[in-house]
Amino acid sequence: MKIHRKFLRLLSASLTLCLTAVVAYAQAGVTKDSFGKTSTGEEIDIYTLRNSNGLETQITNYGAIVVSLKAPDRNGKFDDIVLGFSDLDSYLKPHPYFGAIVGRYGNRIAKGRFTLDGVEYKLAVNNGENHLHGGIKGFDKVVWTGRGLMTRTGPAVVLTYVSKDGEEGYPGNLRVRVTYTLTAKNELRIDYSATTDKNTVINLTNHSYFNLLGEGNGDILNHRVRIGANRFLPTGASSIPTGELRRVIGTPFDFLNFTPIGKRIDQDYEQLKFGNGYDHTWVINGRPGVLRFAAAAYEAFTGRLLEVWTTEPGMQFYTGNFLDGTVTGKSGRPYPRRSGFCFETQHYPNSPNQPSFPTTTLRRGATYRSTTIYKFRNRASTQSGETEFPKP
Ligand code: GLA
């Protein structure tokens, strides 16, 4: 009798569990809505991806931009933790690459010039004397072709774009594909691939600005950051790497242990002056091409923890130094200086002119591939001990 009751209880518990799983699973999905029109009348869509835990992200095919990302704090309260706008018109005006895919070459190419196969290419110059983030009309300002779908790992949106031979000065027709997947493990996974019909250079990244307090809720200086990198790339005054790979130990660039962003950001260290704060590439430990831990950020008030994993050799850690409060975000609040930070996984800036850096050349017939995962966790309490953080 006793066994019988126990069995029934077990059966009902497992049934409840199954039902919950089914209901939760049923909530995962992807929907497509209109996001408006460009000035030339092109219809733009916005895709909403939702996973079985309620994590939600919105992505538009204009600039392949991550428009919103709602993640839970330690009490299960969801907030939008990326900077951006709620309407297409705001994205059509100048803004600092909020949430966008930057390309064909993320970050700088010195003087907008490089030589490939003996030919010198001249790119659009849009950052002092340098080329930045793909030029005047980079991948962040073009209309991608989108397709929402359910995959085995979760709801996804596949975005493709053909960048014409000569666009912004780059050689080769480049076919680019970016897939955003929201997995059941609370990850926003980005898979990039590209092919070209002529040798070219490529360096794609995502330029999301995170604020784990929720966008519009002040600066990010109390977030604690950890970067899995023993070395970083010092730059000259115009943010072009010098070629040196400098050890972080003993410098304000040492994030091997969780350290508040604001702790050393205004120190009298030449590299911080050049960047106006942190705006540098860290050389991620481990083997490029292999998906490995890159960085984490933790915000103690909300308990939100963001982890980044990548196949890329480097990561640009940018602390929103050029935000100045003139841009108003989606909830009507301005974005002041350092109110968001970027973890831009990428190859090193100016690689086409630095033979000692890992190559960014994509040859005809070859396929460029890159994967980055942003994983969202939260911690149950405000323990402050650094050692309690999950080690990758
Ligand atoms: C990158 C660059 C910065 C800045 C931002 C956008 O992180 O390195 O210098 O251009 O993008 O404003």
Domain ranges of the chain: 31-388
What's the pLDDT at 24?
45
pLDDT above 50 for 22:
no
What is the distance between the alpha carbons of residues 236 and 231, in angstroms, rounded to a whole number? Answer: 17
Q: Which helix (H) or strand (E) holds 3?
A: helix 2-27
- What are the tens digits of pLDDT across the range 172-202? 999 999 999 999 999 999 999 999 999 999 9
**Does ligand 1 come within 6 angstroms of the Cβ of 98?**
no
User: For the domain bounded by 31-388, which CATH number is listed?
Assistant: 2.70.98.10
- What are the tens digits of pLDDT across the range 344-371? 999 999 999 999 999 999 999 999 999 9
Closest residue (by CA) to atom 5 of ligand 1? 96
Count the neighbouring beta carbons within 10 Å of the beta carbon of residue 354: 19
DSSP reduced 3-state for 102: strand
Going 230 to 236 to 237 to 240, the CA torsion angle's sign is negative
Cα 339 to ligand 1 centroid, rounded to whole Å = 14
**Does ligand 1 come within 6 angstroms of the Cβ of 310?**
no
- Closest listed residue to residue 337, CA positions, set 351, 349, 326, 323: 323
- What are the tens digits of pLDDT across the range 266-317? 999 999 999 999 999 999 999 999 999 999 999 999 999 999 999 999 999 9
pLDDT above 70 for 23:
no
Catalytic (active-site) positions: 207, 344
Mean pLDDT of the chain: 93
Amino acid at 51: N
**71 close to 55: Cβ distance less than 8 angstroms:** yes
- What are the tens digits of pLDDT across the range 70-128? 999 999 999 999 999 999 999 999 999 999 999 999 999 999 999 999 999 999 999 99
**Does ligand 1 come within 6 angstroms of the Cβ of 322?**
yes
What's the pLDDT at 5?
62
Cα 108 to ligand 1 centroid, rounded to whole Å = 9
